[in-house]
Amino acid sequence: MPNHLQVNSEIGTLREVLVHRPGPELENITPDTMKDLLFDDVPFLKIAQQEHNQFTALLKQHHVKPIYIERLLKEILCNEDVKTGFIQDYLAQFALDPVQIQTTAAYLQTLPAADLATTVYAGLRSETVELPEDYHQPFVLPPLPNAYFTRDPQATIGNGVTINPMTFAARKPESFIFSWIVDHHPRFRNTTTWLQPTLPTHLEGGDELVLNQNTLALGISERTTHAAALTLAEHLFNDPASTFEMVIAIHIPHNHAMMHLDTVFTMVNRDQFTIFPGIMDQDYQLNIEIFRPNGKGGVKIKQAHHLQPVLKEALGLSEIDLIETGGGDAIIAPREQWNDGSNNLAIAPGEVITYDRNYRSIQLMRSHGLTVHEIPSSELARGRGGARCMSQPLWRDDI
């Protein structure tokens, strides 16, 4: 089994992937907090877990090892010094006064590592720690219901990772957890980090697509700024450990339905992509910027408006097959996009995992020669993320 990181494409045979099984945090969403927690509904936990189990079972059937991030967290928390440091630093992220911090830290310190890890994801109800009476919030630690979308707070690019500066408060603790795992878990010893979560702007993993070992596609979106994309490109171009020479920055609409590039565009084979046509105008144009090193440590930028020629050049191909979500139909396409019909996880070239409900997009992918494995999606889809969002590859074979 590989012991380090290798992701030089979106489609190379997948061997190892970071996941999180949805837990009690999903039951800590209420109609009042739903929007801030980036959910559109309150999922039924039991069914969400069954669906997620089917996802991981399918991965295992295809010899992909799921690594549970909550387990990595538990493992580092078994070290008492790490546990104490983690608790202090974790609490410092939230609006708590010194007494509240001390009371909560004392409680968390009593928990065994596994329970502490579960609590970090689930959130901590205020009454559990008997805080001073002037604390009126229902939670002293917030629930992290988006944690099953492991794609976003962290991303593997080549042999390194980005630990992402997240856009919304609801997801910032997830990057914090990963940075502790990178610093303390042997699985990540000597990991190169391309981007730190302290960057004063934002960039998320759903916007990071590794097209090949030289080319990264980045969404400029609700969650990833132009400034952050430039910073990442500079780091990748200048770090001798990186093989990347080109970033294709693709501007997409800024809204919740398409919060990341991978909700509208995924690579599924050497020359095939799924795409939601709603990101292009009637002439199939969109706003693209190509970043390359300028030879002086900076980035030079070229504009483009059509995706196909840009992809052909980057991948050295004469043809590209863009498969439109829902066949591009005015009703089917947006409906299936909303339920992650464009969010496919390639487990090998031409072989993907996707949500069963998007049957029109599935038919179409099959008619374009792809092998499609379906997973159930009634509850998981309520968080607005599909198979790609629920997985963070640590190792893909090179193609």
Ligand X SMILES: NC(=[NH2+])NCCC[C@H](N)C(=O)O
What is the rounded CA–CA span in Å between residue 113 and residue 346?
Answer: 34
H-type alpha helices, the chain:
45-61, 69-77, 80-91, 98-110, 113-122, 126-129, 172-184, 226-238, 307-315, 332-338, 359-367
Give the C-alpha separation, 156 to 6, whole Å.
8
Q: Name which of 362 and 390 has its Cβ closer to ligand X.
A: 390
**Least distance between ligand X and beta carbon 95 (Å):** 21
Give the nearest distance from C-beta 79 to ligand X in angstroms: 30
Pairing of strands 288-293, 299-304: antiparallel
Residue 264: CA count within 13 A, CB half-sphere: 27
Q: How far is the CB of 85 from ligand X (least distance, A)?
A: 27
Residues at the interface with ligand X (CB under 6 A): 38, 146, 149, 151-152, 171, 206, 259-260, 262-263, 383-385, 389
- Residue showing tokens 């390359």: 292
Residue 106 C-beta: closest distance to ligand X, Å: 32
Strands (DSSP E) found in 262-391:
265-269, 272-275, 288-293, 299-304, 321-324, 345-348, 351-355, 371-375
Looking at the Cβ atoms of 76 and 346, the one nearer to ligand X is 346
- Would you say 77 or 217 has its CB closer to ligand X? 217
Using Cβ positions, the residue closest to ligand X within the complex turns out to be: 206
Q: In whole angstroms, how close is the CB of 340 to ligand X at the nearest point?
A: 8
Contacts of 342 (CB under 8 A, 6+ apart): 262, 263, 264, 265, 266, 274, 275, 276, 325, 336, 361
146/212 with CB nearer ligand X = 146
Instruction: Catalytic residue, from 322, 389, 390, 394: name it.
Output: 389
**How far apart are alpha carbons 261 and 250 in whole angstroms?**
8
The yes-or-no answer on residue 389 being catalytic is yes
Nearer to ligand X, 206 or 326 (CB): 206
Q: Which runs of consecutive H residues, i.e. helices, occur in 239-368?
A: 307-315, 332-338, 359-367
Q: Please identify, using beta-carbon distances, which residue of 247 and 261 lies nearer to ligand X.
A: 261
Cβ at position 312, least distance to ligand X in Å: 26
The catalytic residues are 389
